[in-house]
Structure 1
Amino acid sequence: MNSAILLGLFWHFVGAASAACFYAPFKKVRHWSWETMWSLGGFFSWIILPWSISALLLPDFWGYFGSFRFSTLLPVFLFGAMWGIGNINYGLTMRYLGMSLGIGIAIGITLIIGTLMTPLLQGKFMQLFGTTGGQLSLVGVGVALIGVGVVSYAGLLKERALGIRAQEFNLKKGLILAVMYGIFSAGMSFAMDAAKPMHQAAEALGLNPLYVALPSYVVIMGDGAIVNLGFCFLRLAMSPTISIKADLSQAKTLLITNALFSILGGVMWYLQFFFYAWGHANIPADYTYLSWMLHMSFYVLCGGIVGLLLKEWNNVGHKPVSVLVLGGLIIILAANIVGMGMAS
């Protein structure tokens, strides 16, 4: 396995680690509605950072975006909106199924769809069966799916040991939302593929290959912002139980603390896709469709590691932790199989 592929795996792992940690600052926010803190964090992660970083990278920000035809930007825009809808469904999935069952179903579906739908849409899916690299990639995806399932089962054992149950358990609603999340959140993978002309244009302007995907986030995440912020603002305006006025009437010190934690969460959220771009840039061109599989499986792996570090698995017994470790090892094995496939 060459150094570029190893770097690709490493940066995808770093991005996934940021994704696994991003919600920790939000947990420190007090006396604010979820809609308020999510909107503030999201404003930085979906608008401020993509625009600021792109403005720093591009020699002519407006000239770059103005150089594309509407037909080029439209699919990037639509897939970004698709991904934004998936984000909303993720939180609702956890609400009705709980973390372990919700993550297992939702991440499993999006891992498969986001990874394999791209070569299918490109008419290259059957070619995967005709090469050693393609065959190993398919095996790696299957092994990753098993790893996600094992880690999710460990989470289920943990919840049972701690007596944790979903906030409003509803299997029917939860399964529908999990499937919707799995389908819609794969929009990020599709958007990255649709944005290849934007990546090529950025490279032609002299941008480092590690950064060529970042300007496309202005479009991709901007659409996600429209969906997420629109949902939050609608909730704040219409819900009888939450109020932006009440959130902002807290003491000044608390307001500053809440704002800083919300912004930090937003920054960490953005960094997952900042490093996703770095990982994506180091993946061989014929295998870039595997970036989504690596990101999502590493996300599940890092979530388990973070939980162990935060002592969330204390007092749950030996079996849940052993199953968690086994699932993590299976995901690592999957990444190595995929890496060998890319190097073959």
Structure 2
Amino acid sequence: MSNAITMGILWHLVGAASAACFYAPFKKVQRWSWETMWAVGGCVSWIILPWTVSALLLPNFWAYYDGFSLSTLLPVFLFGAMWGIGNINYGLTMRYLGMSMGIGIAIGITLIVGTLMTPIIAGKFDVLIGTAGGRMTLLGVVVALVGVAIVTRAGQLKERKMGIRAEEFNLKKGLLLAVMCGIFSAGMSFAMDAAKPMHEAAAALGVDPLYVALPSYVVIMGGGAVVNLGFCFIRLAKVKNLSIKADFSVAKPLLIANVLFAALGGLMWYLQFFFYARGHARIPAQYDYMSWMLHMSFYVLCGGLVGLLLKEWKAAGRRPVSVLSLGCVVIIIAANIVGLGMAN
């Protein structure tokens, strides 16, 4: 396995670790509705940071975006909006299925859809089944799904042992939302593929190859922001017990703390895709769709490891932890299989 591929895999691991930890600062926010907290963090991750980073990278911010036709920008924006719909469904999936089952189904579906649909749509599926390297990377995807399933099982054992249930368990509704989440969340993978002309234009302007994907985030995350912020603001305007005015009327020290914690959560959410871009740049072009598989499987891996570090599994007993450890090892093996396949 080449050094470039190894570094690409490691950067995807760093991005996934940031994704696994991003909600920790949100848990420190007090006396705010979820909608206000999500909107503040979202403004940081979907608007402020992508625009700021792009302005620093590009020699002429507005000229860069003006150089693209609507036919180039619109698919990127719409796939970003598709990803945004997946974000909303993700939270609802947890509500009706619980964390372990919800994550397992949603991540499993988005891993399959986001990884395999990209080469199928591009007419490159023969790379997967017609070459030794392609078949090995496909094997890595299958092994990753097995790892996700094992980690999901560990989560179910933990919840059963600790008596944890979804707040409003509804299998039929939860499964429908999990499938929708899995499909729509894959929009980020599709958006990155549609944004390749933007990456090439950034490279032509002298942007470091590790960062050429970042200017496209202005458009991708702009689509996600429209969906997520629209959902939050509609909820704040229509639901009786929700009020952005009331949320911002808390005592000044608490208000400042809430804004800072929400902003930190937004920063960590953005950093997952900052490092995703670095990892994506290191993956060979013919296998760049594997970036999504690496990101999602590492997200499950890091989520389990973070839970262990925070001692969330302490009262679960030995069996759930053993199953979790097995699942983490299988995901690591999957990443290595994919890496070896890309090196062929």
TM-score normalised to structure 1 length: 0.99
TM-superposed deviation, 1:264: 0.2
Corresponding residue for residue 91 of structure 1: 91
Question: 5 Å matches for 1:24-39?
Answer: 24-39=24-39
Q: Runs of 4+ in structure 1 displaced over 3 angstroms?
A: none
Q: CA deviation at 1:127?
A: 3.2
Look up the SS of the partner of 2:68 in the other structure.
coil
Aligned equivalents of 2:71, 2:246: Cα separation in 1: 44
Mapping for residues 95-110 of structure 1, pairs under 5 Å: 95-110=95-110
Question: In 2, distance between residues paired with 1:127 and 1:9?
Answer: 20
The alignment partner of 1:315 has SS state of helix
**Which residue of structure 2 lines up, in the alignment, with residue 136 of structure 1?**
136
Within a 5 Å distance, the mapping from 1:1-344 to structure 2 comes to 1-344=1-344
Partners of 1:63 and 1:315 in 2: CA distance? 56
What is the letter of the counterpart of residue 264 of structure 2? L
**Residue 324 of structure 2 aligns to which amino acid in structure 1?**
L
TM-score by length of 2: 0.99
Aligned partner of 2:23: which letter? Y
Q: Which one-letter code corresponds to 1:70 in the other structure?
A: L
User: Partners in 1 of 2:204 and 2:331 — Cα distance?
Assistant: 36
Distance 2:169 2:8 in 1: 38
RMSD: 0.5
Deviations, residues 15-46 of structure 1 (Å, cap 9, x unaligned):
00000000000000000000001000000000
Give 1:126 deviation, angstroms: 2.9
- Aligned equivalents of 2:116, 2:66: Cα separation in 1: 32
Counterpart secondary structure, 1:322: helix
The one-letter amino acid of 1:253's match is P
- How many residues matched? 344
State how far apart, in whole Å, the 1-side matches of 2:183 and 2:290 are: 16
Report percent identity of matched pairs.
75
Q: Deviations over 1:163-197 (max 9, x none)?
A: 00001000010000000001000000000000000
Distance, in Å, in 1 between the alignment partners of 2:33 and 2:146 is: 36
Distance 2:64 2:144 in 1: 38
CA distance in 2, matches of 1:61, 1:244: 33
CA distance in 2, matches of 1:244, 1:42: 15
**In 2, Cα distance between equivalents of 1:56 and 1:130:** 42
The separation in 2 between residues aligned to 1:115 and 1:102, in whole angstroms, is 20
Aligned partners of 1:334, 1:127: CA distance in 2, in Å? Answer: 19
Task: Identify unmatched segments of 5+ residues in structure 2.
Answer: none
Q: 1:244 is aligned with what amino acid? A: I
Partner Cα separation in structure 2 for residue 306 and residue 317 of structure 1: 17
Aligned amino acid, residue 181 of structure 2: Y
**Cα deviation per residue 1:102-127 (whole Å; 9 max; x = unaligned)?**
00100000000000000100111133
